[in-house]
Amino acid sequence: MTAPRATTTRKPKIREDLPAPQTPEGLLFHYRPYEAARWTPFSGRTLTEMIARREIDYVFNGRDSYLTGAQIVALVERFTRRPFEKTPARAAA
């Protein structure tokens, strides 16, 4: 006898018409990890795993984990690689 197969797959709920994190209303808005993935270089699953490993700042309300817009902006800044700037050549003495 085999185990019954699941009839449905669980999809993360993603709300529509979310404010962008860098806008004034988005800075304090609470985004779910799969919603925040749109503005980060990570997938929703990666963000969820980073929250579980406590590698990034997040908001926990006792049941769910969220990222505020300010945390998303800080996360993007943290993982942004700037181009290398050459130092000016020394003047010949």
93 pLDDT exceeds 60? Answer: no
The reported pTM is: 0.76
The whole-angstrom separation of Cα 86 and Cα 93 is 20
The reported pLDDT for the residue numbered 81 is 87
Domain ranges of the chain: 30-78
Structure letter (DSSP) for residue 15? -
Give the tens place of pLDDT for each residue, 13-62.
Answer: 888 899 999 999 999 999 999 999 999 999 999 999 999 999 999 999 99
The whole-angstrom separation of Cα 43 and Cα 33 is 8
Rounded mean pLDDT, 55-76: 95
